[in-house]
Amino acid sequence: MLDEIMRTVTERCGAELAVIFDGDGLVVEKHAAGPLDAEPLAAELAAAARSLAEAASDLGMGALNELTLSCSNLRLAVRRLSPNYFVALAIPAHFNLGRARYELERACWLLEREFAG
C-alpha cells in the first residue's frame, strides 16, 4: 500500500521523488522518478525539521506541520505525517508547487492510519 501511494503521488504531480522518513532521517518508503537520492535528502530534511520545530515552539508558533523549500532547480514540500514521520515531495522548479502541496496533503490523509502514534 505504501509503495502504491508513493508512486501515485509522484505521478500525479510530476515529482522526481516522494519519500516517507522518520524524525532521524531514516527512509521508510520512497518512489523515485529521477536521479535524486532519498537517503541524504531525508537526513537533511529531518535535521532541518527538528531545528525549525524547536524554533517554532520557542516562538510560540505551535507545532511544525509543513515546510517548503524553493531552490533554482528543485522545490521541496514536506509535511508531518505523525509526530515521528514526514512525507516529502521533490519537484522540478518550474512545476506547480500548489499542486504538489495538494497531492502531498492527499497522500498524508491516505497514510495517516499507517503511521498514527
CATH assignment at residue 22: 3.30.450.30
Paired sense of beta strands 17-22 and 85-92, if any = antiparallel
Question: In total, how many domains does the chain have?
Answer: 1
pLDDT tens sequence across 82-99: 989 999 999 999 999 999
Instruction: Indicate the pTM of the whole model.
Output: 0.92
pLDDT tens sequence across 6-27: 999 999 999 999 999 999 999 9
Q: Are 19 and 38 in contact (CB under 8 A)?
A: yes
User: Is residue 117's pLDDT more than 70?
Assistant: no
Domain limits for position 22: 2-115
Starting at the edge strand found earlier in the chain, the sheet holding 85-92 runs 27-32, 17-22, 85-92, 74-82, 66-70
Report how far residue 74's alpha carbon sits from residue 78's, in angstroms, rounded to the nearest whole number: 13
Mean pLDDT, all residues of the chain:
93
